[in-house]
């Protein structure tokens, strides 16, 4: 069965909504959705928790819940918005139950072979500062930034997750970026050469 | 990196944004985790699809659940019938049937004027006896509906629709004739909003592809002119009453909020940095006052401000707590004035379709919560009727009575179903003084 999950090209041109319909009866279709959105969900949780172990745990919970509830996805909105809605609820439950937040740990310990050590260190510093600064933004601005920049949702999709209009999301992003620049001026304004 | 997002940001924000994307891209899923989760998911998939019990067990369980569900529905419907629908407000007196109100509405003695509704990609007007809606776009020529606005005399409705990336503006009259294009297949891009000048002679619009300019044109489609803003526009530009400036919800390189830009000098002025939504500001019918809602996150309050625009004096008419949930504050929207300029209405809530409607008297005598679990409020020309949407139906509320029950006007037009887009809006055609 696991080999099915590795077959990424069976539905190359099918959109998410149709795949989700197929996924009710075809594991291959669910596998394709999993491959398409795993990184978005993982980055979302890692940006919030700053902790790889918890991010992996929440990512597992998110996809398990998505599989359990795939029959309830009606195709009336983008699948990614539906999936990130589940991720958001899992995160909220996590923070209700685990008040303690731990700093960013081994997210960057997976080596990038082509990257010089000093650049990798700079990246680590940059990410540490950004994730640290995100925790000090108002939560809806941080959430909008994470959905759009870490999970790469469109403004419309992020609006569906947040229950806000596209324009309101743009405003949250604009204000969030301004706040973030203030808090991480060195990192966000200076180019690494 | 999502280039679409990057391209929609102003140049001065793109550097920070691309750094943010780059930082996010360094977060990698471990191959071990990817494999483990794949395996778990497929195991779960197998379990989910296997029948866990014999058919007779499942049948018995289904019958049991169905019985419980029927019981719950009966109990719920009894409870709902025993309560007043929607109304939570004004007085504690017993509601009375709105028979006379309904009759007055149907024969046109009350709630006069055409009521336009936008739902998904359909736009419709109430029929003559206000028993339903007549869809204006039976041929589906409007395309992707983005905005609609009544002319200041309440006799023409401007509609923005987009087809395959080209923006169109249509006009129709209050009798519901077929929409006629005044700007067709324009090369302006995907048009977002439309607004009228106070004299009813010009239209204002903007496009998603270039949100640092606005376009002004005559209502017959001639004289299209482009005006650079020098900043980013997020939504709902409106002419000032003298048509010499526009106000809009947008952002420059350092701040975001409600701005005024002169169309002559391009001089920019921030009106408020705390306005957070594109439907949170509205001109009074006489054009002397601008009302807007500020969301003060520090004080955790929403403030309704009335700005004597020329004099520059501001009055806080009402404040509301905006209790934070785990990560957001509620939105306010659909702010509008009563036709006589004595009151304002708006909705407030966390969900787009589940909000509370408030009415505020401009003389400062109070803020009244009119209804719960509703949205998209609009006032009739005579100021007697509030229309709103609740549960895919349009209701009318008699504001002259403190004991009225809402009158069901009609279901929302079915329209075309759109996967990732919602435009549920009501707007009453109201004549304002020139």
Predicted pLDDT at B1: 67
Q: Which of A46, A63, A181 is closest, CB to CB, to B41?
A: A63
Interval B85-104 mean pLDDT: 55
- The minimum CA-CA distance between A163 and chain B, rounded to whole Å, is 6
Identify the pLDDT of residue B395.
94
Distance from CA of A55 to the nearest CA of B (A): 10
pLDDT of B350 reads 77
Name the minimum distance, in Å, from the CA of A86 to any CA of chain B: 15
Q: Which of B46, B350, B420 sits opposite A1 (nearest CB)?
A: B46
- Checking if the pLDDT of B156 tops 80, the result is yes
| Higher-scoring residue by pLDDT: B364, B91 | B364
Whether the predicted pLDDT of B398 surpasses 70: yes
Chain B nearest CA to A11, separation (Å): 17
Distance separating alpha carbons of residues A6 and A52, to the nearest angstrom: 23
- All residues of chain B having their beta carbon less than 8 Å from the beta carbon of residue A165 are 235, 277-278, 331, 352
End-to-end CA distance of chain A: 46
CB spacing of B20 vs A177 below 8 angstroms: yes
For chain A, give the secondary structure using H, E and C.
CHHHHHCCCCCCCCCHHHHHHHCCCCHHHHHHHHHHHHHHHHHHHHHHHCCHHHHHHHHHHHHHHHHHCHHHCCCCCCHHHHHHHHHHHHHHHHHHHCCCCCCCCHHHCCCCCCCCHHHHHHHHHHHHHHHHHHCCCCHHHHHHHHHHHHCCCCHHHHHHHHCCCHHHHHHHHHHHHHHHHHHCHHHHHCCCC
The pTM assigned to this predicted structure is: 0.63
Report d(CA B119, CA B32) in Å as an integer. 47
Sheet bearing B213-218, strands edge to edge: B191-196, B202-207, B213-218, B225-228
Euclidean distance between CA atoms A58 and A44, whole angstroms: 10
Interface test with B, best of A173, A186, A187, A190 (most B CBs within 10 A): A173
pLDDT above 90: residue B201? yes
Contacts with A156 from chain B: Cβ below 8 Å: 420-421
How far away is chain A from the Cα of B234, in angstroms, using its nearest Cα? 5
The whole-number average pLDDT for the span B65-91 is: 55
Scanning every residue of chain A, which has its alpha carbon at the shortest distance from the alpha carbon of B257?
A171
Q: Name the residue facing A178 among B232, B236, B254 (closest C-beta).
A: B254
**Chain B partners of A154 at a C-beta cutoff of 8 Å?**
2, 4-5
Q: Quickly state the pLDDT bin for B317 (edges 50, 70, 90).
A: very high
B412 or B194, higher pLDDT? B194
What whole-number distance in Å separates Cα of residue B388 and Cα of residue B67? 35
Residue with the larger pLDDT of the pair B82 and A140: A140
pLDDT band (50, 70, 90) for residue B116:
very high
Q: Which of A6, A17, A142 sits opposite B419 (nearest CB)?
A: A17
Q: Which of A48-52, B52-56, B361-365 has the lowest mean pLDDT?
A: B52-56
Selected residue with higher pLDDT from B185 and A121: B185
CB-CB under 8 Å, A171 with B251? yes
- List CB contacts (< 8 A) between B332 and chain A: none
Which site among A37, A153, A168 would you substitute to test the B interface, given the most B Cβ atoms closer than 10 Å to its Cβ? A168
pLDDT of residue B184: 86
Question: Cβ–Cβ of A5/B21 closer than 8 Å?
Answer: no
- Higher per-residue pLDDT: B87 or A128: A128
User: Is residue B152 classed as helix, strand or coil in its secondary structure?
Assistant: coil
Is the separation of the CB atoms in B331 and A164 below 8 Å? Answer: yes
**The pLDDT value given to residue B60:** 55
> To the nearest whole angstrom, how far is the Cα of A61 from the nearest Cα of chain B?
10
Q: Which residue has the higher pLDDT, B135 or A113?
A: B135
Q: How many pairs of residues across A and B have Cβ atoms under 8 Å apart?
A: 183
Mean pLDDT of B245-271: 90
Tell me the pLDDT tens digit for each residue of B158-174. 999 888 767 899 999 98
How far is the CA of B321 from the CAs of B115, B244, B291, in angstroms?
Answer: 32, 36, 19
Average pLDDT, chain B: 83
pLDDT given at position A119: 58
Which range among B22-26, B82-86, B418-422 shows the weakest confidence by mean pLDDT?
B82-86
Q: Which residues of B touch A148 (CB under 8 A)?
A: 2, 5
Partnered with residue B117 across adjacent β-strands are B124, B426
Q: How far apart, in whole angstroms, are the C-alpha atoms of residue B282 and residue B238?
A: 9
Give A-chain residues touching B234 at CB under 8 angstroms.
167, 170-171, 174
Nearest CA in chain A to B1: A152
Contact A149 B43 (CB under 8 A): no
Task: Pick the most confident of B131-140, B280-289, B349-358.
Answer: B280-289
Query: Distance (Å, rounded) from C-alpha B241 to C-alpha B285?
Result: 10
Task: Determine contact, residues B213/B228, Cβ cutoff 8 Å.
Answer: yes
* pLDDT above 90: residue B157: yes
The fraction of chain B above a pLDDT of 70, given in percent, is 84
To probe the interface with A, which of B30, B38, B193 has the most A CB atoms within 10 Å?
B38
CA dihedral B150, B155, B161, B166 (to 10 degrees): -110
Per-residue model confidence (pLDDT) at position B72: 67
Q: Is the pLDDT of residue B38 over 90?
A: no
Position B63 pLDDT exceeds 50: yes
Contact residues on chain B for A181, CB-CB shorter than 8 A: 16
Residue B347 clears pLDDT 90, i.e. is over it: yes
Measured between beta carbons, which residues in chain A are less than 8 angstroms from residue B254? 178
Q: What is the mean pLDDT of residues B412-432?
A: 74
**Per-residue pLDDT for B389 more than 50?**
yes
> Which stretches in chain A have pLDDT values below 70?
1-10, 96-125, 184-193
């Amino acid at each position: 069965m696991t080999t099915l999950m590795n077959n990424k090209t069976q539905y190359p041109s099918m959109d998410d909504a149709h795949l989700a319909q197929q996924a009710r009866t075809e594991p291959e279709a669910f596998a394709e959705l999993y491959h398409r959105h795993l990184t978005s969900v993982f980055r979302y949780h890692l940006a919030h928790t700053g902790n790889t172990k918890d991010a992996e745990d929440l990512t597992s919970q998110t996809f398990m819940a998505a599989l359990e509830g795939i029959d309830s996805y009606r195709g009336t909105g983008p699948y990614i918005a539906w999936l990130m809605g589940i991720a958001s609820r899992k995160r909220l439950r996590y923070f209700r139950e685990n008040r303690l937040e731990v700093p960013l740990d081994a997210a960057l310990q997976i080596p990038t072979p082509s990257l010089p050590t000093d650049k990798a260190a700079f990246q680590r510093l940059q990410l540490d500062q950004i994730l640290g600064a995100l925790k000090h933004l108002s939560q809806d601005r941080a959430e909008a930034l994470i959905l759009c920049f870490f999970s790469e949702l469109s403004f419309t999709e992020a609006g569906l997750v947040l229950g806000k209009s596209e324009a309101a999301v743009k405003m949250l992003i604009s204000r969030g970026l301004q706040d973030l620049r203030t808090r991480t001026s060195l990192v966000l304004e200076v180019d690494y050469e | 990196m999502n280039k679409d997002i990057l391209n929609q940001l102003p140049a001065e924000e793109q550097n920070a944004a691309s750094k943010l994307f780059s930082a996010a891209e360094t977060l990698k899923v471990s191959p071990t985790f990817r494999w483990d989760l794949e395996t778990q998911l497929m195991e779960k998939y197998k379990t989910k699809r296997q029948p866990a019990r014999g058919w007779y067990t499942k049948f018995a369980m289904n019958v049991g659940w169905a019985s419980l569900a029927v019981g719950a529905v009966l109990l719920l419907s009894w409870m709902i019938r025993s309560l007043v629908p929607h109304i939570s407000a004004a007085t504690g007196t017993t509601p009375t049937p709105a028979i006379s109100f309904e009759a007055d509405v149907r024969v046109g003695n009350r709630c006069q004027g055409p009521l336009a509704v936008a739902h998904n990609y359909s736009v419709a007007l109430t029929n003559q006896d206000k028993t339903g809606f007549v869809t204006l776009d039976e041929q589906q020529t409007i395309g992707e509906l983005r905005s609609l606005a009544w002319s200041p005399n309440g006799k023409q409705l401007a509609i923005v629709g987009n087809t395959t990336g080209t923006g169109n503006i249509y006009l129709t009259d209050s009798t519901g004739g077929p929409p006629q294009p005044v700007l067709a297949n324009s090369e302006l891009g995907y048009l977002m909003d439309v607004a009228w000048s106070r004299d009813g002679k010009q239209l204002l619009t903007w496009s998603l592809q270039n949100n640092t300019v606005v376009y002004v044109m005559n209502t017959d489609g001639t004289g299209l002119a482009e005006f650079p803003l020098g900043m980013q526009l997020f939504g709902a530009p409106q002419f000032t009453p003298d048509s010499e400036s526009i106000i809009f919800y947008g952002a420059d390189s350092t701040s975001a909020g409600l701005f005024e830009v002169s169309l002559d000098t391009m001089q920019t002025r921030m009106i408020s940095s705390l306005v957070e939504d594109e439907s949170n500001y509205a001109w009074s019918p006489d054009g002397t006052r601008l009302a807007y809602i500020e969301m003060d996150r520090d004080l955790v309050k929403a403030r309704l401000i009335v700005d004597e625009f020329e004099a520059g004096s501001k009055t806080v008419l009402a404040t509301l707590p905006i209790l934070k949930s785990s990560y957001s504050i509620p939105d306010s929207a659909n702010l509008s004035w009563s036709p006589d300029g004595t009151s304002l209405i708006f909705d407030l809530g966390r969900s787009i379709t589940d909000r509370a409607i408030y009415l505020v008297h401009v003389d400062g005598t109070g803020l009244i919560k009119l209804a719960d679990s509703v949205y998209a409020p609009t006032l009739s020309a005579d100021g007697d009727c509030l229309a709103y949407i609740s549960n895919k139906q349009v209701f009318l509320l008699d504001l002259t009575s403190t004991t009225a029950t809402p009158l069901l006007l009609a279901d929302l037009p079915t329209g075309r179903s759109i996967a990732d887009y919602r435009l549920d809006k009501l707007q009453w055609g109201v004549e304002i003084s020139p």
